[in-house]
Amino acid sequence: MVLEIDSSRGEGGGQMVRTSVALATLTGKTTRLTRIRENRPTNGLSKQHITAVDAVARMTGSTVTGNTLGSSELLIEPGHEQNTNLVLDIGSAGAVSLVMQATMLAARNYTVPFRIDITGGTNVMWAPPIDSYSMVLFPLMKKMGIDAKVDILERGFYPIGGGRVVLEVQPIGKIKPLVLDKLGRLERVRGLCFMQHLSDRVGQEMMESCRRAFEGKYDIEIDYQRSEGMSRGAGMVLTAEYENGILSSNVLSSKGHSAQQSGLDAASDLLQEMSSGSTVDIHTADQLLPYLAMAEGRSEFIVSRISKHLLSQMDTLESFLDVRFGVERKDDGYHFTVTPGEHE
């Protein structure tokens, strides 16, 4: 029996492809994806999607049909291997973090450590910055018993890319639920400003405008990092670290958007999350959701708004797993519950 997934539903982008391919291998369900990215300006699979699908296939010994540039259909016939030490090159500034999403999820059942060396874009638009994994996602996953780390060997910015990271994931085993109904006390607010082949003035202006936005509200410590590489760019990741959880924001420099404005945008986004009642920020919620759906018990979290990515992720997970999602609108945000059942 083949599980049919209409990939134009919900957010209708690459996330549904990455999650579906990984879950097909985890659950052993032969899966056909149709109408891939049908509602996007460029339809079908891009280089980063192809790399992610190929990686999952190589990891698990799965057979994939249709994994070509622009393809609107994929057939995944799951394998049962546990291959490690993969080396991948997206071949563009395609997002390394998005490829990692698929490979980390596909490694969920591994009984041996998994290591992958990926070349591509580490800090690009429309994708989580690689820094948010080590600063936000991985610490939250650690609370669930998942041990993952990423080393940034070189940064890659659009359009050149050329960044390189090494991801390591230890065998996962049982996943603990995450109950984030309250953040608890604020422990610190910090940031990382990174810069490659641009004037130090850009970084200084970004940090100064960020600090000004926090003046009189919270103390903030910002680390400054200059790096060497093929591409050039700058950006910032901010975190508010609480007793029970972490909120974050991020920004990239871009033409027509001053360094001062970039720093202010990052600060404003984090301050808004901190005052909203959220316990998980909107960028992190959909990335955590697959692991919450496979946890040994009920999880809870609060988001300030429901993104299309989050809705799409819920839809995809319900197609593969025995899991129930609940959501209730309250004054301090949208309260989510994730209740896994007996996984098929």
Q: What is the rounded CA–CA span in Å between residue 113 and residue 224?
A: 32
**Residue 221 three-state SS:** strand
Q: What is the rounded CA–CA span in Å between residue 305 and residue 281?
A: 9
Q: Enter the DSSP assignment of 97.
A: H
Backbone torsions φ then ψ of 86, nearest 5 degrees? -85, 150
**Residue 206 three-state SS:** helix
Query: Quick count: other Cβ atoms within 10 Å of Cβ 334?
Result: 18
Tokens of 38: 């049908």
Cα separations (Å) of 139 from 136, 217, 225, 239?
A: 6, 25, 21, 12
Residue type, 18: R
Catalytic choice (197, 309, 335, 343): 309
Query: Quick count: other Cβ atoms within 10 Å of Cβ 326?
Result: 11
CA count, 13 A, side-chain hemisphere, 253: 22
Residue 257 annotated to the active site: no
Give the H or E element holding residue 336: strand 333-340
Contacts with 116 (C-beta within 8 Å, 6 or more apart), sequence order: 55, 85, 86, 87, 88, 100, 103, 166, 167
Alpha helices (runs of H) in 124-279, residue ranges in sequence order? 130-132, 138-143, 200-214, 259-276
**Residue 4 three-state SS:** strand
Tokens of 150: 């990423």
Task: Provide the annotated active-site residues.
Answer: 309
